[in-house]
Every structure is written in structure tokens, then in C-alpha cells.
Amino acid sequence: MRRQQQQQQQQPPPPRRGRSLPGAVGALCRALPPHARPAPDTLRCAKFDRPQASLDFWRLLYALLKQIHGRKWTESDGIDNQIRFVKAALWYHGYDRPELYRLHSDGSAGSRELLLAFSWLLHRISLLEQLLARNRVKTGDETSVCTCEDDLPNSLKGTTEKAPKPGLEGGVDVRYLQWLNGRLRFQWRGLHTQHQEQCKLLHKIHLFTSGSHMDQVLGHLSVTETDLVRQPENYKQLLQLLESETLQLEAFLEWKQLEPVYWQWMETVLDNMAEEGNVCESQDTHIEGSELPEVTSCCPWADSLTGQIDRLSRDLTTLRDQLHKLVTRRKAEWCEKVKTREEELQKEGFSATARKIQESVELKLLDLTYLCAPPKKRMHGSHRLVFRSKHPASKMVFGRSVSKESFSTVSATEVIRELQMREASLVRELKQLQEECRQRLNEVAEGLDGVICISP
């Protein structure tokens, strides 16, 4: 008995959710951006679906999603426009709970539904991590690099944006589209010229300040650091920004420690909704949109689901190998056919036709090679520019980290080469589409009497 009592005294007591819940909610609120930071009482009122918390939650989601999508946040927007934007952004990210989209546009009710959507964003898209990355204080010169494919989410496939109708009824005037295209080209050229001028100025600053930085890995000063050297009185504003970011990061670390408590509290929110009859029996069809991360509970169907996933993975691997063999065999057959047909066309004197066929086959082979190739790691996000004068082959380097221990870099030459390959592929695809459009126009023109079509 004494040993059991001593062991019980030595074991630390389990943390009480009632005591740590205010700390978790408070840390979550402090980790959000300062201009979009709700009061902890707003979340508590939303749990009981209090109407006074609805407008605050709509404004909160509006401000956060505006930052996620890289747009300016303004308080002058009407509440109906804010609600419309929040619903559209949630639908874009895949939130398919119908109860939220049925809420009125005046923002008079639905605070609990908005609390669920806010928690879903925290878990599904890593809301806090994205906001901290976007709002961090940048002391170095950075550039945005993206080599990802422009794939639309599944919720947006098959949908198109409605174009305005300034001219003809039931359609769009072609002259208006030509004017928009010309205006877009002009703005794009102006933006490209400004970006080139910015790169020239950055190169001058990096070259003239080479060897002035304390960090030997960097070796040169950035624009912000050069401005501080010229105007030392500006360091107070930078220091305030750094202190604010430090407090926000400390709150984020505290939130990560108390995060399980928050999700346990969210389970009680779902329990209250079930008791009040707000969750219908068809919730299983929308469980993906409203699921919350499990903390301590286990699912009885997890083992069977894992087995099904493993079997499906093996089947997909086998299917990929079979497709690879089929593509290899078809490629060899097509190469033989192309060679035979090329010899025949050369004998007949149709070299131009042979070149067109060869370009078409090469384009299809490149597409098949791209589809069958293993997925390559794509670059996306901001990278710091580091000038290297000792290596002529790669003078400009994109770096993710600036520490001496781990300095993962990629040269600008590699990025340019990959972007050029992507550009060449898009140009080939554009030429193919243009040729198909010409053929369709010729077919349409043949059926029209007295109409002559002159290609541009």
C-alpha cells in the first residue's frame, strides 16, 4: 500500500482541460495577425451560437482569407461582400458543409457554424502557419519562384467564370475581348520592364556591398540593411516589427503545446450541436468537409480502411508498371511506323508534311514521358537572393536558409532552364491549338457561300 501511495504521489497529475482551455484559446488569438485578432470571448460565445459573435467571426474569416489569397484587406467593404467572399474562399478550399452556405448575407446568425469553418481551416490548410509565413518581417531580398503545375482543385473543375456582356445580347463582343487582350499585354510588358529594372538595382546593391555583411555565407547587404546603414533612425520601426513578430511566434509555440485541448473542446461543440438536433443523419456524406483531428479516440474501422488503402496502393503500382510497359512498346511501334512513313514521304517529296507529323509525334511522346515520369520536386514560395561572384556559372542563388549548417540553394540558371522548358512546352501546345482552330474555321468557311476567310 505504501509503495502504491508513493507511486501515485510521484506521478504528475493529468492536466485539467478547464484550466488550460483559456490558455489555448488565448494563445490561438495572440498567434493571429494583430489587425485580425479576435477576443477569446468571441469563440466562447460562438460555441453557444450567440448571434452577437456572428459579425465578428465573418470579419475575422474575411481578413484571414484575404491575406491567404494575397489580396488587400479593407474595412470599407460591406458585410454582404465580405460574406460572399468568405463563402467563395471556403468553397475554393473544399469546405462543403451546406449549413454554412445557407446562412443569411446579413451576418445575423451562424456563429457556431463559423467557428467550425474556422477550426476546419486551422486543420486543413494550416492557417496559422500560412499567415506567419506571409506576415513575417523580411530583412533580406527575396523573390517568388514557382515551378508548379497550374492545376485547379477538384471543386473548381468544370466551372468557368462568367464574362461580362458589354456589347451583344447573349454573347461577348469580339472587339471588347481584343481590347482586353491588348490592355493585358501592355500591363504585362510594363510589369516585366519594372521587374528588370528592380533586378538591375538589386545587382548593383549586392555588388557594391559585397564583403560588408557579418555572415560570410551571404557576404553582401540587402536593400533593407543598406537603408538602415544610410538612415539609422529607421531601426526603431524595424525593431517594433521584429518584437511584434517575436510575440506572435511565442504565442504560436504556446498554441502548439495546448492544441489538443482546443480540439477536445471542439468535440464538445459538435456534441452540443448533435444534442440540439442541428446535425442530421446525412452528416456522413459531408464528413470530409467537417472532420476534426482526432486526439485520443480511435476509430474501429481504421484497420480495415488501412488494409483497403494498402491493397489499392499495390493495385495502382501494378497498373503503373503495366502502363509503362505498354507505353514503351507503343513508342517503339510508333517510331518504326514514323520511320517507314518518313521514307515513303521523302520518296514522294512531301518533306513538309513529314516535319509536321514528326513535330506532332514528338509532342505526344513528350507528354507521355512527362506523365510516366516520377513526380519531381517542385519549387514554390519565396527564396532569398544571394549573389555569388566566385562562381561565374551560378552567380545568383536562391536560398531557403541562411545558416552555415544547412544552406540549401539552387542556382538561378537551373530555375531559368526549367522555366524555359516549360515555356517551350506551352508554345508547342499553343501552336497545336492554333492549327486545330484554323482547320475548324476552314471547315466552317467551306459551308458558307460567298465568304472568304483570310488567315492573319
Judge contact between 90 and 97, C-beta under 8 A. Answer: no
- Quick one: which of 243, 24, 225, 183 has its CA closest to 119? 24
pLDDT tens, residue by residue, 262-317: 999 999 998 888 887 644 544 444 444 444 444 444 444 455 667 777 778 888 88
Mean pLDDT of 246-251: 94
pLDDT tens, residue by residue, 311-361: 788 888 888 888 888 888 888 888 888 888 777 766 665 666 666 777 777
Mean pLDDT of 9-31: 71
Percent of the chain whose predicted confidence (pLDDT) is above 70: 72
The amino acid present at 385, given as its one-letter code, is: L
- Quick one: which of 256, 258, 267 has its CA closest to 128? 256
Mean pLDDT of 126-134: 91
Q: Which of 206 and 357 is assigned the larger pLDDT?
A: 206
* Residue 225 pLDDT level (bands cut at 50, 70, 90): confident
pLDDT tens, residue by residue, 411-450: 888 888 888 888 888 888 888 888 888 888 888 777 777 7
DSSP code, position 219: -
Sheet holding 380-387, edge to edge: 142-146, 380-387, 396-399, 409-411
Mean pLDDT of 125-141: 89
At 132, is the secondary structure helix, strand, or coil?
helix
Could you give the CA distance from residue 117 to residue 424 in angstroms, rounded to a whole number? 42
